[in-house]
Structure 1
Amino acid sequence: MSFTSMHWGAYRPQVVDGKLQAMVPAEWDPDPSAIGASIPEALTSPTRILRPAVRRSYLAQPGSHPELRGQEPFVEVSWEVALDLVAGQLKQVKAEHGNQAIFGGSYGWGSAGRFHHAQSQLHRFLNQFGGYVFSMDSYSLGAGRVLMPHIVGNMDWLLAAHTSWKNLAQHCELFVAFGGLPAKNAQASPGGASEHLLTRALEEMSETGVQFVNVSPLRDDLTGPKNIQWLPVRPGSDTALMLALSYVLVSEGLHNEDFVQRYTVGYERFRDYLLGHVDGQPKNSLWAQALTDIPAQQITDLARRMARQRTMINVAYSLQRSVHGEQPFWMTVTLAALLGQIGLPGGGFGLGYGCMNNTGSGRKAFSGPRFSQGVNPVKDFIPVARVTDMLLNPGAPFDYNGKQLHYPDIRLVYWAGGNIFHHHQDLNRLLEAWQRPQTIVVHEQFWTAQAKYSDIVLPATTALERNDIGSSASDRFMIAMHQAIEPVGEARDDYSILADVARRLGFRDAFTEGRDAEAWLRFTYDESRGRAQEHGIELPDFDRFWRDGLFEIDYPDNDTVLLESFREDPDAHPLPTPSGRIEIFSERIASFGYADCPGHPVWLDKPLASFPLQLLSNQPKTRLHSQYDHGAYSRASKVRQREPLTLNPADARDRGLVDGDVVKVFNDRGAFLAGVIVSDGIRPGVVQIATGAWFDPWVPGERNSLEKHGNPNMITADIGASSLSQGCSAQTASVEIVKWDQALPPITAFEPPSMV
């Protein structure tokens, strides 16, 4: 029986008479994800896109009436008509405006397969067409990805080199988790998660006596270990807490002066700020108490514990998805440097344990086959979270990582993989921007909002309807993903779609290099064998791999400890920073002159909250981002068909709310409906809802319409984390909630659009 690899797990598809009946988790997986149970029904549900479709007025006159996106019916057409239309619009935009008017908007979670990876396929196609405007970084990790190369090294290198869970179980004594270690987040990895690690890792650490501190507004952000202290911090104040911990270490002489002198630069500049010599405000525990709501004595006691014990400090991705999001990452590194345990077994820092499955696996960091995207002749780009700004403000300047750039004038958006109406913030503002391009083309499997708000919709296959290879860096298995079922309806894989468009545009041979999809699988696998040898891995030949179904990636000879060689000899193994050291003060960042991200970590006041409750919009448990929200597992988690919103009993009592009520959640950006869950596992003054509920406005296409399903990005802020990164700031949002006492509008998110 063959396997398939999903972002959230490895499964054995059960097929009877050509129909998928079930997804059986791999027998070796100790903590399989239930998301797989959603797939069989969802694949053939009414949400499935069966044939190419074009928006009605667009079909009559291409480029017309962009204001009707999301409002008018579609017309199903043949593949020939649809592909002719796509090719014609690409050719026209290129001739009239140049390739810099084309935005390749694909996002990277379309498939765990390494060949049928929608983003790689689209980018290769557009590069060979003459280029496209691209996006940098990610919604998940925008601020961190820009910051970290300046102060330690790039994120991909760091994540692959994180100290292993095995090492932590043996050597760590205290694990301080800013943002917790939520098991639901660790269910996924970009190229697949063949063996889920976090739950078992925490059990093993607990058995060896590791103590945990969960610094989060949510108690359930860290569960499982026996010894957990919960510090229900005020959202967005983690940097202040880390500064106060640092103040205790420095003022009481508990920091490691030898370490900061040998392995860091800029400590003295930071110390003067920390002690209040710069601004007259010592960053002590009493100062932090007012900002964090954590008692000063608890802060002081925690700092002393951290100095006494072998301590790992971890920061979740969610903390940098906010205004000034660079600061908690920078402070995590700085605090760990003051403790002086970086590079030691069981100590130091982590940037995302629990955020993706493979972080901390300890396995060799081989990522498997790659499909070459080629070289992009167009150099214009945007930070990924600035899509709306780009569409609304062509030609306007923006800052990014020390440069001032300008937004391009986009006429055509081509999207394959991803759902902008899930990932992006302030959807009312996005709706306005989404009316600006003359053409929006999307490859999609289901009638998501991304598809409904497009002009040309091309039905794409799912991972179960094609052959592929699943592989993530540092994952246990590379998996031969054998096709399980025939494509549903007229769905085609992205490669064949783009090859046919390329034929119409005259470069099919360059795009395909004469290979069909099966030949590309063999070619990319064979190419990866050389890279595997660099990691000490001997891959079998392709035929044996395909027959066996999987190949196990082993462990390196020595256990993985982050920055161990740097600690042993910083001169022989310098960091890829300007100084070769950890940069507590960065001359390069300081030279940019950004008031919202100066040369060392600082506390910067947050925007004043206009509403009384702070909203956390975190990752869901029952789906990946918005994938399979229409599946049974996600739909079963809803409250009266709406996404659940959790609030503290005191906040519920003040508003006359009980479990099962439906509320309107609103601020000056918009409003959505959600179902109430009351819990003492969330601190007062905070409400929490998962992202990923399919966008479902009461009046489709209309700005400021009530969203009736529970999509929090109706009200999140679409502003950059800082001038340095321009990362998303979804976690910086305040709201009010009131009980919904009217008739409930029906959920239509999972219904296909009208067809003519």
Structure 2
Amino acid sequence: MRLTRRDFIKTAGAATGSLAITSAIPMPAWAEGPAGGAILTAGRWGAMYVEVKDGKIVSSKGALPKTVPNSLQQTAPDQVHTTARIKYPMVRKSYLENPGKADGKRGNDPFVRVSWDQALKLIHEQHSRIRSSYGPSSVFAGSYGWRSSGVLHKAQTLLQRYMSMAGGYAGHTGDYSTGAAQVILPYVLGSVEVYEQPTTWPMILEHSQVVVLWGMNPLNTLKIAWSSTDEQGLEYFHLLKKSGKSVIAIDPMRSETIDFFGDSATWIAPNMGTDVAMMLGIAHTLVKKGLHDKAFLDKYTTGYPQFEEYLLGKTDKTEKTAEWAAGISGVPAEQIEKLADIFAGNKTMLMAGWGIQRQQYGEQRHWMLVTLAAMLGQIGTEGGGFGFTYHYSNGGNPTRVGGVLPAISAQIAGGSSAGNDWAVSDAVTSIPVARIVEALENPGGKYQHNGKEQTFPDIKMIWWAGGGNFTHHQDTNRLIKAWQKPELVVISESYWTAAAKHADIVLPITTSFERNDLTMTGDYSNQHLVPMKQAVPPQFESRNDFDVFADLAEMLKAGGKAVYTEGKDEMGWLKQFYDEAQKAGRAQRVAMPQFNAFWQQNKLIEMRKNEKNEKYVRYAEFRSDPVMNALGTPSGKIEIYSKTIEGFNYKDCPPHATWLAPDEWKGTADKDQLQLLTAHPAHRLHSQLNYAALRKEYAVANREPVTIHPEDAKARGIADGDLVRVWNARGQVLVGARVSDGIKQGVICIHEGAWPDIENGICKNGGANVLTADIPTSRLANGCAGNTSLVYAEKYKGEAPKLTAFEEPPIVTA
């Protein structure tokens, strides 16, 4: 691709500094005008301009105007030119000498550089052997993780497209983000809900009187989106701050969001893992004072009487009073009772994050919050009710009308019915994503999931593309041990992550700045269509996943490449996707030029506002007519008590929202133990960008920071800036102390996502999952429970070991 200096659109008002937002609806993002020199692209952190000099990216910045800055948009140079890049195809030395053997050396063996032809031939031979010997269920291609923003270069989808052609594979269900909530909520609401558009922000800004931020930190999490952020969520939170409305933030830590609101918000810090108890105390107060909406409960819900019997202690002889809740949550009973008065006496929007359900018995958290919202009787009203996506991908930004890009599929067009004699099988079996280690440890074992008995596959091959399981999975040391069991592990990656260092074969893959693609901004708004233009050539010997799997498809059978690509190259696919979006856009009166003109213009396209969508209220239709607009539950109503779940007879997931004390929490801690909070970091996306220069913004003594309360620090002789060893029976990490009163006493925070860097039994980089328990939320959802861990902490007195997380492993000649 020949890159030239082209016109691009400059942001209105951006040249004079921060944009002033003066109305309830953020102003249009773009105003035309020449600026010269920059290449328009996008990432999960939004549309960006990238500056290139002498074949290198030298800077990047956001392309949309904003009031709240986004540090992640500055990182393009680091992403492409970091020393952590994988430069060439690599094979683990012992594996190259003796392919197909699980020798227990993954992670402790040097690598050998090979050619692409050698690497692909070796993969093809071993993949074919394993598939023919053990069947498709032995090949795990349930590769999981954040993907490229683009609609073509989606690593997991491209991998599974190839594996479908090969005859099927073992896949995964669910995700780490919302594993518990996305399984329980369909039983309660008939919808997965955690990925749905909530009541829009214009409705909240006009009608809500009280906004509750329960376990969410949007100032961090709205820097990103699954596709690409439209950046409007943070602008709406800015308007909320200016509105004078009552904001209540419930979180064990004074997050960046709480600091952002300052005196405009009330911070309440419960003990970790006690959200259900606190909500039950509020619910009990509502009943005691007659503030619950009996008419709403009678008309729109089922099972409330059974729940109320539990609430009042008639079923377990424990009344869930505010005093009872205070003893568990650490929040004073008077404050819990006051919250009940405030919630019931005002139009209240309960916004909840996902971290509260990433705990043992996590299913109960979101179920109880919906139950509480139902008792308030405001679901389906303008500005009342609940929402689970205001902190994610700009939920609440009204959906635009226009063209929406389709994306490449794991299925080949037409399949065998169209004349292709390929076995297009998709996943032949699937496991809950957070149970991968359990599957490796217990092949053929039986387990319960969502009401059914299932069987773990006997996994002999793992191919992970586009994700970093060694950072997002719990109990890293247990994972490393289980990871030795398969006969082949292939990692497709751009960087030397811990997963890549524990592979047999490593393939160097391009970053999004080294290829062409398209994306939409806003997973709920679809606000912009953005060209993701290649800024620099592929670095070293990196290749696009699309091309790698196309070549492997040809090895399956002559003509396989043509089947895999459907006869289209990169730009051919992008033109097809654009043309489909253009057809829909023009039908909605959105001006969209022909593809070639669009690509040359270096401009994004903003979709049209829609008045009806601006006024969208979640569950308004259900509220207006619950018969004609019945929910997808068995009763058609909100199920506060689920007879279906009752039938599963799971002790760890009762048929209504229930307080279940976790195995590891304040109530089981000894006097020296602390609860570990693994919150989302401010300056990276989970593990992405851990190597970037932004690290200087948060690292303490070049380590991941640990936030600790002054009293907890004093008791352990820890001062601000000290190196600290944090440990439990699962492992130990080295972190840097940040002493702050902005965290609940008895709780420490190590942000998730630091790359594991284990030497002599200690993670030198502070990887939080070295400490977290790999247990299921329950056997209903089998979600991850990364926020249920007790740890010890002490000042580290040894010599600080050298950090090697971002260095390439030893490389030798064959």
TM over 0.5: yes
Measured in 2, the distance between the counterparts of 1:127 and 1:35 equals 35
Aligned-pair distance for 1:528?
4.2
Measured in 2, the distance between the counterparts of 1:158 and 1:555 equals 24
Give percent identity, aligned residues only.
Answer: 39
When residues 476 and 378 of structure 1 are mapped into structure 2, their CA distance, relative to the original with a 3 A threshold, is closer
Residue in 1 aligned with 2:646? 590
Secondary structure of the corresponding residue to residue 786 of structure 2: coil
Secondary structure of the corresponding residue to residue 432 of structure 1: helix
Residue in 2 aligned with 1:165? 201
How do residues 133-144 of structure 1 correspond to structure 2 at under 5 angstroms? 133-144=170-181
Secondary structure of the corresponding residue to residue 184 of structure 1: helix
Equivalent AA in structure 2 for residue 144 of structure 1: A
When residues 534 and 410 of structure 1 are mapped into structure 2, their CA distance, relative to the original with a 3 A threshold, is farther
> Which shows bigger deviation, 554-563 or 511-520?
554-563
Aligned-pair distance for 1:65?
4.6
Residue in 1 aligned with 2:18? none
Residue in 2 aligned with 1:209? 244
Aligned-pair distance for 1:64?
2.6
Q: 2:505 aligns with which of 456, 459, 469?
A: 456
> Which segments of 5 or more consecutive residues in structure 2 lack a partner in the other structure?
1-37, 412-423
When residues 531 and 731 of structure 1 are mapped into structure 2, their CA distance, relative to the original with a 3 A threshold, is farther
Residue in 2 aligned with 1:429? 478
When residues 535 and 413 of structure 1 are mapped into structure 2, their CA distance, relative to the original with a 3 A threshold, is farther
Instruction: After superposition, give the CA deviation of every residue in 1:570-624 in whole Å (9 maximum; x if it has no partner).
Output: 1121112211111111111111111111111111121143552000011111111
Aligned-pair distance for 1:641?
1.0
State yes or no: 1:224 paired with 2:260.
yes
How do residues 625-640 of structure 1 correspond to structure 2 at under 5 angstroms? 625-640=686-701
Does structure 1 conserve the Cα–Cα contact (< 8 Å) formed by 2:179 and 2:358?
A: yes
Measured in 1, the distance between the counterparts of 2:631 and 2:593 equals 35
Secondary structure of the corresponding residue to residue 313 of structure 1: strand
When residues 162 and 544 of structure 1 are mapped into structure 2, their CA distance, relative to the original with a 3 A threshold, is farther
Does structure 1 conserve the Cα–Cα contact (< 8 Å) formed by 2:757 and 2:803?
A: yes
State yes or no: 1:553 paired with 2:604.
no
When residues 244 and 590 of structure 1 are mapped into structure 2, their CA distance, relative to the original with a 3 A threshold, is same
Q: 1:645 aligns with which of 706, 712, 726?
A: 706
Residue in 1 aligned with 2:682? 621
Measured in 1, the distance between the counterparts of 2:695 and 2:382 equals 40
When residues 486 and 323 of structure 1 are mapped into structure 2, their CA distance, relative to the original with a 3 A threshold, is same
State yes or no: 1:711 paired with 2:772.
no
Secondary structure of the corresponding residue to residue 39 of structure 2: coil
Residue in 1 aligned with 2:295? 258
Q: 1:344 aligns with which of 357, 377, 381?
A: 381
How do residues 220-619 of structure 1 correspond to structure 2 at under 5 angstroms? 220=255, 221-225=257-261, 226-354=263-391, 356-364=392-400, 368-374=405-411, 376-471=425-520, 472-473=522-523, 474-506=525-557, 507-529=560-582, 540-548=593-601, 549-558=603-612, 559-608=615-664, 609-610=668-669, 612-619=673-680
Aligned-pair distance for 1:537?
6.4
> Which segments of 5 or more consecutive residues in structure 1 lack a partner in the other structure?
700-704
Aligned-pair distance for 1:543?
3.0
Residue in 1 aligned with 2:728? 667
When residues 467 and 624 of structure 1 are mapped into structure 2, their CA distance, relative to the original with a 3 A threshold, is same
Does structure 2 conserve the Cα–Cα contact (< 8 Å) formed by 1:9 and 1:33?
A: no
Does structure 2 conserve the Cα–Cα contact (< 8 Å) formed by 1:158 and 1:562?
A: no
RMSD of Structure 2 on Structure 1 (CA) = 1.8
Aligned-pair distance for 1:534?
9.2
Measured in 2, the distance between the counterparts of 1:240 and 1:580 equals 28
Measured in 2, the distance between the counterparts of 1:312 and 1:117 equals 35
Measured in 2, the distance between the counterparts of 1:534 and 1:162 equals 26
Aligned-pair distance for 1:294?
0.6
Measured in 1, the distance between the counterparts of 2:98 and 2:577 equals 41
TM-score scaled by structure 1?
0.96
Aligned-pair distance for 1:547?
3.5
Equivalent AA in structure 1 for residue 233 of structure 2: L
Equivalent AA in structure 1 for residue 729 of structure 2: D
Measured in 2, the distance between the counterparts of 1:98 and 1:531 equals 43
Measured in 1, the distance between the counterparts of 2:133 and 2:216 equals 51
> Which shows bigger deviation, 10-19 or 219-228?
219-228
Measured in 2, the distance between the counterparts of 1:403 and 1:216 equals 35
Measured in 2, the distance between the counterparts of 1:196 and 1:655 equals 43
Measured in 1, the distance between the counterparts of 2:437 and 2:360 equals 17
Secondary structure of the corresponding residue to residue 68 of structure 1: coil
Q: 1:64 aligns with which of 97, 101, 105?
A: 101
Aligned-pair distance for 1:315?
1.6
Measured in 1, the distance between the counterparts of 2:669 and 2:177 equals 25
When residues 642 and 178 of structure 1 are mapped into structure 2, their CA distance, relative to the original with a 3 A threshold, is same
Aligned-pair distance for 1:540?
4.7
Measured in 1, the distance between the counterparts of 2:404 and 2:643 equals 34
Aligned-pair distance for 1:515?
1.1
Measured in 2, the distance between the counterparts of 1:539 and 1:400 equals 47
Does structure 2 conserve the Cα–Cα contact (< 8 Å) formed by 1:664 and 1:674?
A: yes
Does structure 1 conserve the Cα–Cα contact (< 8 Å) formed by 2:553 and 2:561?
A: yes
Equivalent AA in structure 2 for residue 197 of structure 1: G
Measured in 2, the distance between the counterparts of 1:635 and 1:503 equals 46
How do residues 711-750 of structure 1 correspond to structure 2 at under 5 angstroms? 711-750=767-806
Measured in 2, the distance between the counterparts of 1:390 and 1:337 equals 38
Measured in 2, the distance between the counterparts of 1:145 and 1:539 equals 36
When residues 420 and 164 of structure 1 are mapped into structure 2, their CA distance, relative to the original with a 3 A threshold, is same
Does structure 1 conserve the Cα–Cα contact (< 8 Å) formed by 2:145 and 2:468?
A: no
Measured in 1, the distance between the counterparts of 2:446 and 2:586 equals 46
When residues 65 and 90 of structure 1 are mapped into structure 2, their CA distance, relative to the original with a 3 A threshold, is closer
Aligned-pair distance for 1:78?
0.6
Q: 1:177 aligns with which of 198, 213, 222?
A: 213
**How many residue pairs get matched?**
748
How do residues 119-158 of structure 1 correspond to structure 2 at under 5 angstroms? 119-155=156-192
Measured in 1, the distance between the counterparts of 2:393 and 2:640 equals 29
Residue in 2 aligned with 1:702? none
Does structure 1 conserve the Cα–Cα contact (< 8 Å) formed by 2:446 and 2:454?
A: yes
Secondary structure of the corresponding residue to residue 338 of structure 1: helix
When residues 530 and 260 of structure 1 are mapped into structure 2, their CA distance, relative to the original with a 3 A threshold, is farther
Does structure 2 conserve the Cα–Cα contact (< 8 Å) formed by 1:5 and 1:194?
A: no
Aligned-pair distance for 1:535?
8.1
Secondary structure of the corresponding residue to residue 133 of structure 1: strand
Instruction: After superposition, give the CA deviation of every residue in 1:133-169 in whole Å (9 maximum; x if it has no partner).
Output: 11111111100111111111333x6644211222211
Does structure 2 conserve the Cα–Cα contact (< 8 Å) formed by 1:364 and 1:535?
A: no
Aligned-pair distance for 1:42?
4.1
When residues 458 and 36 of structure 1 are mapped into structure 2, their CA distance, relative to the original with a 3 A threshold, is same
Measured in 2, the distance between the counterparts of 1:273 and 1:12 equals 56
When residues 294 and 69 of structure 1 are mapped into structure 2, their CA distance, relative to the original with a 3 A threshold, is same
Measured in 2, the distance between the counterparts of 1:528 and 1:588 equals 41
Does structure 1 conserve the Cα–Cα contact (< 8 Å) formed by 2:310 and 2:316?
A: yes
Aligned-pair distance for 1:282?
1.2
Measured in 2, the distance between the counterparts of 1:139 and 1:363 equals 26
Equivalent AA in structure 1 for residue 56 of structure 2: K
Measured in 2, the distance between the counterparts of 1:426 and 1:239 equals 25
When residues 711 and 535 of structure 1 are mapped into structure 2, their CA distance, relative to the original with a 3 A threshold, is farther
When residues 48 and 533 of structure 1 are mapped into structure 2, their CA distance, relative to the original with a 3 A threshold, is same
State yes or no: 1:189 paired with 2:225.
yes
Aligned-pair distance for 1:744?
0.5
